Amino acid sequence: MQIRRIGYGVKGVVRLRRYALRWAYMITDKAKHKAQVLTFWAKHGLQATEEAFKVKKRTLYLWKAQLKRSDGNIESLNEGSRRPFQMRQRIWPRTITQEIRRLRTQHPNLGKKKLFVFLKVFCDQNHLLCPQSRTIGRRIADAKDKMRTFPLKIRNNGQVVLRKRTPVARKPKQFVAEYPGHCGAFDTVERFIDGCRRYVITFTDLYSRFAFAWGTTSHASKAAQEFF
């Protein structure tokens, strides 16, 4: 009988396994300190433990119960998650959420910063407090359907196929251009004029804000060379 590993041939599997085994059974210094306090309590009594370590009685009994439930495993004394069971809910008027949904339906996948411009006008007209762009992003993320419309492709037989998004290299948000030519933004706009297809290639220097646009009938590599 031949046994084949699932991760055979996958790069980095062995390193990931060693990393998982290293941190799976880890006893922190705080857990060791708790075990030392419990040992001191069993040997010298409650009053001496409270005076020596400044620990309350209920805390000692809590640590002792944790250690008992795990059959004496010191790892159970590690600090757990302090996340509350019931999280605070964001309370905003329902009309604002409905307007965000309407804008995302009318303009699919419109970003939170661009949505803020349209939502600001709506809130001013209805005398409402307008949420900031980061809050708009959280409201979109809190929605069950994420208020996101994925692009669709319809074949000649009428079958609807989801289009997969290809990863695009983008400028990091924290990057700041320090001199002219350090970073430039390029784009191509396609237009139909009098039944003919035209392309407008644009360039903007992020530091000096110098912009240039050039119209062409093709956006192939040769046209890009002429544009440069």
Among 144, 145, 160, smallest CA distance to 108 is for 145
* pLDDT number for residue 122: 93
Angle between helices 29-44 and 57-69 (to 10 degrees): 110
Per-residue tens of pLDDT for the chain, all 228 residues: 444 455 555 666 677 666 665 555 577 888 889 999 999 999 999 999 999 999 999 999 999 999 889 888 888 888 888 888 888 878 888 899 899 989 988 887 788 899 999 999 999 999 999 999 999 988 888 887 767 766 667 777 878 777 776 777 778 888 888 999 898 888 888 888 888 888 999 999 989 999 999 888 888 888 888 888
Q: Any idea how long the chain is?
A: 228
The pTM for the full model equals 0.40
Whose tokens are 């046994």? That residue is 3
- The Cα 223–Cα 191 span in angstroms is 16
